[in-house]
Each structure stands twice: as structure tokens, then as C-alpha cells.
Structure 1
Amino acid sequence: MFFRQISTPKEYISHHLQHLQFNLHTLKLLSGHNISTNFWILNLDSLFFSIILGLIFLFPFYKIAKNMQKNPNKIQTAVEILINFVNDNVNDIFHAKSQLIAPLSLTIFVWIFLMNAMDLIPVDFIPLFIKYFFHYSTIRVVPSSDINITFSMSIGVFILIIFYSIKIKGGKGFLKELIFQPFQHPIFYFFNFILESISLLSKPISLSLRLFGNIYAGEMIFILIASLIPWWCQWILNVPWAIFHILVIALQAFVFMILTIVYLSMASKKH
């Protein structure tokens, strides 16, 4: 345990589960508006690391795409393998024509993988760095363990589902799909609408909660190990768990990508 001033495991765990936050509610109160809600709170650490990891993804891919070589180096080869992997999955699942789905799927897979991979950094490493230079140690570095980040990504996918449904089927076709299936008899139309609406709304919820739950659980295990075991022997448990967690990190990024492709493929089909 590196934070010696935090005396108990409970305090240590609570400390590492606190976000660096910016409260817009306070600013609105100072401006004279009487607002009694905590909705407008930004988790600055989640936003910061999400943006940084997004740039880490975009910059090398842009440089490699701009300077393609006939005899590729190792980095270009790895990028090409990754692009082919994503492209094969898109071609197998999404059969409509779209210039968005493949780049979107690649972005989702790599971005979520990078966010998940932050879980492999030792629990106290970045907080100690921040504390040394900025005298502030309350920070979380795994964006995908923040429900706000995972839910915002799933909302983006949900908006695309609605967009493609209306674009391909039209407004009437989209409403008919909600009303006339799975049961064809008029007595079931209202029941169909409720059932299909719940099914539609459950897609972004399941996407966000699945990713959040798995990564949050992995983060909690790392924090528990750091809080209960002396730092000099934490590697005995950390190394095996980290090796296993690499599979979880990749799998959760893959599942989010695949489900996005499946949902958009379903939205693009006329029934």
C-alpha cells in the first residue's frame, strides 16, 4: 500500500474509487440560478484519459495510412492485420452498403481496448505521479470503469440504430416494425409496441452495463490486492490476474464491436 496516510483498506478502496470532478452545479449557483441537482458533474479524469487514448489511436493510424509502404514495417503490418480482422467481421455480419460501419467498428474496438488496458497500470502509479507534481491524488485512470463513459458510447450506437432504421425503412416502416411484430393479430399491436420498445431500449443499456461491469470488477480486484497485501509481494497475485485480465480487456472490446455491427445490421434490414 503506497498511500500510507490512508490507514484502512476501506479508506484505501474508497480513495481509489473517487473521480476528479468538476461541479457545474456550483457555477450555476454562483451565477444566481437556484438549481438543486447534482446532474451537471463532469468526471474530468474519465474525459481526459478518454480523449488522450482516442488521440493515441488516431495519430499513429493516420501517420501509417498517410505513409503506406510496399514493404511494410512491423507497425504497419500490425495495423493492417487489425484492419483486416475488423473488416472481415463487418463483411460477415453487415451486408448492406455503408462507408461508416467499418471505420466505426475499428474505432470502437481499438478505443475501448486502450481504455480497458489502462486497468493494467499499477493502481497507485498515476495517482502518485499526479500527487507528486500537482499535490492531488484523487483520480481514476480507467475510463471504461466509469458508467458515464460506457453509457455515452452506447447512446452513440443507439442513435445510429435509430438513424439507420429510419433511413432504410422510412419513418412508417420503422413504426410498423415496432407495432406489427412479432404477433400479427391486431389485438397484440399494443403489446408488440411495448415489447419491441423495451427490446430497442435494452440495447444501449446492455452494451454499457456489460462493458462497465466487467472492467469495474477487474479494477476492484486490483485495488483489493493493493489494499490487503504488502506492496513488495503484490506481484504474486497481480501478475496471474493481469494475464487473465488481458483476455477480458480484448474480449470486452470485441463484444462491444460485434454487438454494434449486429445491431446496425438488424437496423439496416427491411422486414
Structure 2
Amino acid sequence: MSAAETSQPVNPVEYMQHHLTDWCIGCDPKTHQTSNIIDFHAFFVDSWLMGLLIAILIGFVAWRIGRSLDADNPTGMQNLLEAMVEFVNGQIKDVFTSRANPLIGPLALTIFVWVFLMNFVDLIPVDLIPLTVAWIGHHVFGVEGPVYFRAVPTANLGAPFGMALTVFALVIFYNLKVKGPVGYVKMFLFHPFGKYLVPVNIVMTLIEEIAKPLSLALRLFGNMFAGELVFMLIALLVLTHADTLNWGLLGWYPLQILAGLGWSIFHILVISLQAFIFMVLTIVYLGMAHTSDH
């Protein structure tokens, strides 16, 4: 997407580093980075704030639709919501052989909508939200120096891992509730090779269980991080030539627009697919937890 012509760094390396730096509390004050890939002392304000704003938006829209439900004369938003509910219920019926837990439907629908909208932020011009936050920081709060803000929550490893670990906690909870503590332990001891290979079963089942939150989080994070990088590279098509205003620069604008439009159309499919996969895997993992056997 187009990058606004501002005082943002025009050096490609500085530009990329600036946009890949989070507004972080508990990070190194000089590098603005965490000491480890996963650092529980760090708090990413930008990811948390964007996720919260999107959650409030979802709640507000759902509340408005709920107030105006009309079976005889449904609105467009009501039709869209009903179609989404039927779509999610269809996915649940394909996984659960018996009547599903009533929590699964609302959880799956919330995950799909929330992840999709957090991914959708990536389609907003790459400089628009960071520049707005920087303007507010400098002119309203008097912040000196650069203001960092990564607008796409799912492009930060913390947000996908937070959602994945929440789903994983539910998986463990329902495994214990449905199978019982003894049945859950037996799953580690005797799956998948039977009672004669208990040590191998423990290792294999541990790997299988740990892979659940990893597959949820890393797939979403990897795709959104890559998409964010591509939009930055497209913005740099013009930004790196902005210091030499001439007729040759005009040739870069159509290329940037075409590249941004093409990638945006493709990225719509990516963000929709990633939200769908996260939702379906959540349903599948919870469905496996609700079976008496493994």
C-alpha cells in the first residue's frame, strides 16, 4: 500500500526496522526488542490495544444486531450474521458426531471474526495507523523521539500464541472433564502404539499435544508477518525515490498502485483462509478432547 510522504525514515533498512518495532513495555530501552523470542516480561501495547479495539467493535456490532433482530424483515447485517452462524455450525456438525458442547459454536464464531478482523488491519495503508499514532504521541502527549506502533496484532508472535494457548487450555480442560484424569493419563501411556511401547507413546503423544498450539500460532503468525513485509516492500517502491523528485518518480506510482492492488486482492484470500484454518483447527482439537477415546 502507499506510504505517506512524511518524516518517516526513507532509508529502506531504517524504514523496515521502524515498522517492525513494537510499542513494548518491558523491552530493551535501546533496541526496543525482547531478550528472547518468547519473553513473558514484555507487554506489547500496540497488539493489545488493536486487539481490544477490534473486540469492542465486534461486541458493539453484535449488540446492535441483537437489538434489531427481525425474523420477518431481516437486515443485511442480520442475514450476514445468520449465514456465518450456519457456516460455523456446519463445521461443528462435521467434527462432532454427537451433540456439541454449547460453548464451541460461540467460541468458533468469535475466533473466526476476531482473527479475520485483526488480519484485515494489514490491508490498511501500511503507514496510516503508525503515522496517526505518532502524530498523537508527538502533538498530544509531547513524546520526543520516534513512536513505534505495529498495527497488525497477528503479525506479532504474542497475539497468535496467546489465542493458541487459550484454546490449548480448553483442550486440556475438556480432556480431563470428558476422559477423567485417569483416562487422560492413559492417553499418554497407551497411544498410539499400545501398552508395550509406553516410553515411545509418552514422547509421541507429548509431541502431538505440543504441536497443537504451535501449529495454531505459527501458521497464523508466519502468514501475516510475510504479508506485512510485502506491503512494506511495495511502499518502499516510491519511498526510496522520494528524495529525488523528477519525472522518473511518476513511473513508480502506477507500479506501486498495481502491485499494492494485486497483493491486496491476494491477501484478502490469505487473511480469510488463516481465520478459517484457526477456527477449524480449534473445533477439531476440541472435538478430539470430547471423545472418550483418543
Q: Tell me the TM-score normalised to structure 1 length.
A: 0.91
- Contact kept, 8 Å, 2:8 with 2:15, in 1: the verdict is no
Counterparts of 1:206 and 1:39, CA distance in 2: 20
Q: Which residue of 2 aligns with 1:85?
A: 87
Q: Which residue of 1 aligns with 2:225?
A: 216
Select 2:279's aligned residue among 231, 254, 257. 257
Counterparts of 2:50 and 2:283, CA distance in 1: 25
Counterparts of 1:200 and 1:178, CA distance in 2: 10
- Contact kept, 8 Å, 1:49 with 1:141, in 2: the verdict is yes
Identical positions, percent: 42
Describe the superposition over 1:181-200 as per-residue Cα deviations: whole angstroms up to 9, x where unpaired.
211242x1111011101100
Q: Which residue of 1 aligns with 2:151?
A: 141
Q: Which residue of 2 aligns with 1:248?
A: 270
Determine which structure has the larger helix proportion and give its number: 1
Counterpart mapping for 1:225-244 below 5 A: 225-230=234-239, 232-233=253-254, 234-244=256-266
Describe the superposition over 1:28-81 as per-residue Cα deviations: whole angstroms up to 9, x where unpaired.
xxxxxxxx9964121100000000101111111122123311210111111111
- Give the superposition deviation at 1:3: 4.0
Q: Which residue of 1 aligns with 2:172?
A: 162
Q: Which residue of 2 aligns with 1:7?
A: 10
Counterparts of 2:229 and 2:103, CA distance in 1: 36
- Give the superposition deviation at 1:177: 1.0
Describe the superposition over 1:218-259 as per-residue Cα deviations: whole angstroms up to 9, x where unpaired.
010001111233584421200000000000000000000000
- Contact kept, 8 Å, 1:22 with 1:44, in 2: the verdict is yes
SS at match of 2:149: coil
The total of aligned residue pairs comes to 261
SS at match of 2:74: coil
Counterparts of 1:153 and 1:138, CA distance in 2: 24
Q: Tell me the TM-score normalised to structure 2 length.
A: 0.84
- Contact kept, 8 Å, 1:25 with 1:40, in 2: the verdict is no
Counterpart mapping for 1:26-45 below 5 A: 39-45=40-46
Q: Which residue of 1 aligns with 2:75?
A: 73
- Give the superposition deviation at 1:24: 8.1
Farther off after superposition, 157-166 or 65-74: 65-74
Structure 2 residue runs without a partner (length 5+): 30-34, 139-145, 240-251
Describe the superposition over 1:195-214 as per-residue Cα deviations: whole angstroms up to 9, x where unpaired.
10110011001110000000
Q: Which residue of 2 aligns with 1:31?
A: none
SS at match of 1:229: helix
Counterparts of 1:89 and 1:39, CA distance in 2: 34
Structure 1 residue runs without a partner (length 5+): 27-35
Counterparts of 2:8 and 2:266, CA distance in 1: 31
Residue identity in the other structure for 1:238: G
Residue 237 and residue 24 in structure 1: after superposition, are their counterparts in 2 closer, same or farther (change >3 A)? Answer: closer
RMSD: 1.9
Farther off after superposition, 3-12 or 201-210: 3-12
Residue identity in the other structure for 1:75: M
Residue 19 and residue 160 in structure 1: after superposition, are their counterparts in 2 closer, same or farther (change >3 A)? Answer: same
